[in-house]
Chains A and B, each alone.
Chain A
Amino acid sequence: MSDASELSGTRRPSEGDTHGAIGTARVKRGLADMLKGGVIMDVVTAEQARLAEQAGAVAVMALERVPADIRADGGVARMSDPAVVEAIMQAVSIPVMAKARIGHFVEAQVLESLGVDYVDESEVLTPADETHHIDKHAFTVPFVCGATNLGEALRRLAEGAAMIRSKGEAGTGDVKEAVRHMRAITTGIRRLAAMSHDERYRAAKDLQASYELVDEVARAGRLPVVLFTAGGIATPADAALMMQLGADGVFVGSGIFKSGDPVKRARAIVEATTYAGDPEIVAKVSRDLGEPMVGIANDSLAAEQRLAGRGW
């Protein structure tokens, strides 16, 4: 074996004008591409992060409390303690994401300075600004944002989001809202793709999004970024359902570490996401998983208890 750093006579990268450019749209969106077909898990400790990695998570979301506890505890939910985020970053080799409050660009600056790999501008935390989202173009770290419909997704893209996820209704274990949001987004895209040019101008007005973005999505028949699903996924079958509905991958929040056997369930959800189209494998991995998280039916939530309405 020879030490690669001692090699001589090999060709060097040319000094193109953008050689070594960091924080480009391509590298921001590109990391989300690498997460496709995978499961991103909420973790609150380094130990949970290690379990998630061992189960096959493609990334972890570092936070202080999972959504089910945020719901139970009430009060203001904020960015995690940097010490918690750093402990999780040191515990695993997979990407680490962390949540900032909607509009709280200083929380995002702090997370970027810690070196997290993705920031989730999340409705699960208490919004800091009831009008504006973060200007995500201003950052080198990429952002993922939630959306309940196509217009919301396009507005987040205009602000610089590099990845979109359905909001669903976090911390409930009820997949219904995630289904609703995923269908709203994918149906919206199909509708756009079928429109004539003049109809797209009107659609841009209705969607409160730029014509250029609307036209780009209509032509491509998909968002220009990866579309994950989140909010209420609790079982392997839930994950496979969302994949078959068009999700590129899955976020699982409270569904894993609020269940009876987190390790087994985490692994099963990973496997069902990979083999979402293969019911025999989904059946096999769904056996003997122990108790799922105790759910809250979405219909039993009062309007002010719903998180999906946060964000504009």
Chain B
Amino acid sequence: MLGPVVGVLALQGDVIEHVRMLSAAGARAVAVRHAEQLDDLDGVLLPGGESTTIGKLLERFGLLDPLRVRLSSGLPAMGTCAGAILMGSHALLADGTPSEQPLLGVMDTVVRRNAFGRQVASFEGLLDIVGIPAPPLRAAFIRAPWFERIGDGVQVLATVDTPAGAKVVVARQGGLLAAAFHPELTGDPRLHALFVEIIRARQT
């Protein structure tokens, strides 16, 4: 059986790492830079990068609205770090004030950017994720956000303990999967495999 076709948004960020992980997880990954490419996809992956840069490019090259429409009408999507920010309905700056930036707004989440701090606070560790059996996944958090608030229809898949309490770092809303960290950097394709499973379940 041929794997589902997943478009990796390739405007900016760590695209090739996601292409490799999706392939390892049994999907056929293609780089997407044009709106007309959205028609033939079974799923979309929004990579890590700079959310402000990717959002502006989505807007300038006419991808923001078509992508929003596709995701709103049920196309599964996975977002990591910047991708998770773009999927949310609101973004906050690190200090908690609103961030004015283009967003897809398809997930009922408020995402706080750089919530763990600047680069010197970036870290990696082991993370238990609901739906991924042991051992825990190695996760790299790079200037990472967290989910400040989530809607009632959003499921929490993983949290990280911080001095400010447990913070949500992986969330799911139907076919939308968002992670604050970078599963594409640690060589373990299990979160990508979970996404491919979500796509397959919605195809049948």
B53 touches A270 (CB 8 A): yes
Say yes or no: is A58 at the interface (Cβ < 8 Å to chain B).
yes
Contact in complex: A115, B140 (CB < 8 Å)? no
* Chain A window 273-290, contacts with chain B (Cβ cutoff 8 Å), 1 for yes, 0 for no: 011001000000000000
Contact call B110/A1, Cβ cutoff below 8 A: yes
B1 at the interface (CB under 8 A from A): no
Chain B minimum-CB-distance residue to A249:
B12
Q: Which residues of chain A from 1 to 57 have a CB within 8 Å of any chain B CB?
A: 1-7, 10-14, 16, 18-24, 26-27, 30-31, 33-38, 53, 56-57
Given contacts A13-B125, A27-B123, A115-B118, contact A4 B60 (CB under 8 A): no
Q: Is the CB of B15 within 8 A of A21?
A: no
Tell me the B residues contacting A by CB distance below 8 Å. Answer: 10-15, 17, 33, 48-50, 52-53, 56-57, 60-61, 81-82, 93-94, 99, 108, 110, 113-114, 118-130, 136, 140-143, 146-152, 156, 158-161, 164-168, 182, 185-186
Please report whether the interface of chain B is mostly helix, strand, loop or mixed according to DSSP.
Answer: mixed
A93 and B93 contacting across the interface, CB-CB below 8 Å: yes
From B128, which residue of chain A is reached at the shortest CB distance? A11
Contacts of A24 in B (CB 8 A): 123-124
A30 touches B130 (CB 8 A): no
Given contacts A2-B150, A93-B52, A118-B119, 19 further A-B contacts (CB under 8 A): A1-B110, A1-B152, A2-B152, A3-B149, A5-B165, A10-B130, A18-B126, A27-B122, A34-B48, A37-B49, A38-B12, A38-B49, A38-B53, A58-B12, A58-B49, A58-B50, A141-B120, A274-B12, A274-B33
The answer for the CA separation of A151 and B33 in the assembled complex, in Å, is 35
Q: Are B142 and A34 in contact (CB under 8 A)?
A: yes
**What CA separation (Å) do A6 and B17 show in the bound complex?**
34
CB-defined contacts of B56 to chain A, threshold 8 Å:
56
Min C-beta distance of A285 to chain B, whole Å? 10
Q: CB-CB < 8 A to A95: which residues of B?
A: 50, 118-119, 143
Report the tally of A-B residue pairs with Cβ distances under 8 A.
181
Q: Which residues of A contact B94 (CB under 8 A)?
A: 93
Question: Which 5 pairs between the two chains have the least Cβ-Cβ distance?
Answer: A16-B126, A19-B125, A117-B119, A5-B165, A37-B12
Is A1 within 8 A of B151, CB to CB? yes
Whether the pair B52, A31 counts as a contact (CB closer than 8 A) is no
A120, CB-defined interface residue at 8 Å: no
Q: Bound complex: CA of A58 vs CA of B11, how far in Å?
A: 12
B99 adjacent to A7 (CB under 8 Å): no
> What's the least CB distance linking A310 to chain B, in Å?
26
A94 at the interface (CB under 8 A from B): yes
Which A residues are in CB contact (< 8 Å) with B50? 34-35, 38, 58-59, 94-95
The answer to whether the Cβ of A215 comes within 8 Å of any Cβ in the partner chain is: no
Q: Is the CB of B48 within 8 A of A18?
A: no
Q: Which one of B13, B81, B124, B152 lies within 8 Å of A36 (CB-CB)?
A: B13
**Shortest beta-carbon distance from B165 to chain A in Å:** 4
- Nearest chain B CB to A9 CB, angstrom units: 9
| A22 touching B123, Cβ below 8 Å | yes
Taken together as a complex, chains A and B put the C-alpha atoms of A11 and B170 apart, in Å, by 11
Inter-chain CA distance A7–B156, complex, in Å, is 9
Is the pair A37, B11 in contact by a Cβ cutoff of 8 Å? yes
Q: In A85-101, which residues have CB < 8 Å from any B CB? A: 93-95
Chain A's nearest CB lies how many Å from the CB of B9?
11
Chain A, 109-129, CB within 8 A of any chain B CB: 112, 115-118
A27-B142 in contact given A13-B128, A56-B52 (Cβ < 8 Å): yes
Q: A268 to B149, alpha carbons, bound, how many Å?
A: 36
Q: Are B119 and A142 in contact (CB under 8 A)?
A: yes
Instruction: Find chain A residues with CB under 8 A from B48 CB.
Output: 33-34
Chain B proximity of A82: nearest CB distance (Å): 15
The answer to whether A238 has its CB under 8 Å from any CB of chain B is: no
Q: A223 CB to closest chain B CB, in angstroms?
A: 14
Which residues in B have their C-beta under 8 angstroms from that of A80? none
Q: Is A140 an interface residue (CB 8 A)?
A: yes
C-alpha spacing A53/B100, complex, angstroms: 12
Give the residue name and chain of the A residue nearest to B126 (CB): A16
In the complex, are the beta carbons of B143 and A31 less than 8 A apart?
yes
List the B side residues contacting A3 at CB < 8 Å: 149
Considering the chains assembled together, what is the distance between the CA atoms of A7 and B61 in angstroms? 39
- Docked Cα-Cα span, A140 to B166, in Å, equals 25
- Cβ contact within 8 Å between B186 and A2: no
A30 touches B142 (CB 8 A): yes
What are 13 contact pairs spanning A and B, CB under 8 A? A5-B165, A5-B166, A10-B158, A10-B168, A11-B128, A11-B158, A14-B127, A33-B17, A33-B48, A36-B15, A38-B50, A93-B52, A274-B57
Closest to A118 in B: B119
Closest Cβ of chain B: how far from A51's Cβ, in Å?
A: 13
